[in-house]
Amino acid sequence: MTRFLLAALLLLTHTVLAQHKISGLLDAEYEAGHFNGAALVVNNGKVVVRASKGYANLQFGVPITQSTRFPIASMTKTFTAILVLQLVEQSRLRLDDKAAQYVPELPPACQSITILELLTHYSGLQNEPILAYKARYSPTEYVQKFVARPQPPKAPAFNYTNVDYVLLTRVLEVVTQKPFAVLLQERIFSPLAMHDSGLIREAVVTPNLAYGYHNYKFGAGSKTDTIFNDAPIYLSNYAGAGAIYSTPEDVYKLVQGLKAHKLLSASTTTYLTKPQKPTYIDGIRGYPTLGFYFNDKTFLRPC
């Protein structure tokens, strides 16, 4: 009994020390002006730290909490890839299918693009202009206006672009005959009890949604930087490329759901996260997967 109590105390002490170390690291990053948000740290399947620093709304001084909902930007692509692979498992879609089978209005130069090429950013599609977010466009309108390939088409090469995943959004809606928001709710959010996640819609008030800010330094920044409101754009236009909001707790539910194979089979989950050929995004070497991107850069160093 004494040995058991000693082991329990040692484990508790180790956990508390780890919590203090991580909390101290986040505090230091916040004070340096590098962090404004919420964090959830898990070790061996147990949450060891829940932390939040800074403000969800600077104008009104609304603090960030664990229930604050954040636009998760390109993390949305993971959800889209999961939905695509679910349809593949159901034999409603094949990775070597041409996107034009489902979206026949694609320009002639885009008719040969496959679903897999869209998932892995090897479609050769051009990046969208900022104009793509200055007015409200449905996925159908977005595809009609902004999906294009350079002429003549270049040799296949990795090009990270939101257009790939907006086009996948349209494919999903055509195959299922359901809106993307409904697919997310039915196939991911509800099964995993992700009650604080959804699709951003400008015309709808989303409680506890954090505002976006920028220092326009495009680097680590500092606490003394002037902070600006994000430029007004229609985040909903990103659709399956970047229009989901969520919380750390809900994102962890997604991780748990994938590990428990609640969304995809074991083999398909492995395929989802399997690194492809190494490449670069913003000068950082990494490995794209289907909806994920692993890179070699260390963003936070242990204290």
Q: Answer for the pair 234, 226: CB distance below 8 angstroms, yes or no.
A: no
Same domain, 260 and 137: yes
Whether the per-residue pLDDT at 301 is higher than 50: the answer is no
Query: How does DSSP classify residue 178?
Result: S
Same domain, 207 and 268: yes
Same domain, 97 and 16: no
| pTM exceeds 0.85 | yes
Same domain, 21 and 153: no
Could you list the residue range(s) of the whole structural domain that residue 255 is in?
Answer: 69-295
pLDDT digits (tens, 9 = 90+) for 115-136: 999 999 999 999 999 999 999 9
Same domain, 41 and 83: no
Average pLDDT over residues 231-248: 94
**SS3 per residue for 193-244:** CCCCCEECCCCCCCCCECCCEECCCCCCCCCCCCCEECCCCCHHHHHHHCCE
**How many domains does the chain contain in total?**
2
Same domain, 170 and 113: yes
pLDDT score for 151: 65
In angstroms, what CA-CA distances link 5 with 9, 19, 20, 43, 46? 6, 21, 22, 22, 20
pLDDT digits (tens, 9 = 90+) for 43-63: 888 898 899 999 999 999 999
Residues 40, 44, 46, 52: what is their CA dihedral angle, to the nearest 10 degrees?
-10
Q: Is residue 300 part of a domain?
A: no
Average pLDDT over residues 247-262: 97
Q: Is residue 302 part of a domain?
A: no
Q: Is residue 251 part of a domain?
A: yes
Same domain, 30 and 74: no
Same domain, 142 and 116: yes
Q: Is residue 42 part of a domain?
A: yes
Query: How does DSSP classify residue 129?
Result: P
Distance between CA 7 and CA 121 in Å, rounded? 50
Same domain, 37 and 97: no
Q: Which residues contact 178 (CB under 8 A, 6 or more apart)?
A: 186
pLDDT digits (tens, 9 = 90+) for 188-210: 999 999 999 999 999 999 999 99
